[in-house]
Homo-oligomer: A and B are copies of this chain.
């Protein structure tokens, strides 16, 4: 159970956003990041349909985000051989590293919140 006050939350958010903006690696949209986090933190398998329902957005939103993040190497796609209509979204080393850095960044900024 993680407990923090609203002021601490906003300060943490500011520090994290600031670090994100200053780092000039390409930053993801809110939707893209939500998808990436779901793929890596929720148990597989992940399908376009499943993610769309989970985030309550339309399927093209998922497809487009996967296109973009696929080019970035943060996720990869594979056909489901058991039901070839489905596409399974898979993790990549690069995506793991990306989220690892994000987690470390948040932890680091949290340490500086009084």
Contacts and interface: CB of A to CB of B under 8 A. Distances in A.
Contact of A110 (B9, B20, B111, B113): B9
Identify the interface centre among A1, A100, A107, A111: most chain B CB within 10 Å of its CB.
A107
User: Is the interface on chain A under 10, 10 to 19, 20 to 34, or 35 or more residues?
Assistant: 35 or more
Nearest to A104: B6
A21 interface: yes
A113 B56 contact: no
A51 to B, nearest CB: 11
A10 B31 CA distance: 15
Interface string A22-45: 100001011101100110110000
Contacts of A12: 2, 106
B30 A20 contact: yes
A56 B17 CA distance: 12
A56 B100 contact: no
B6 A103 contact: yes
A36 to B, nearest CB: 9
A114 B3 CA distance: 10
Given A4-B110, A110-B4, A34 B18 contact: yes
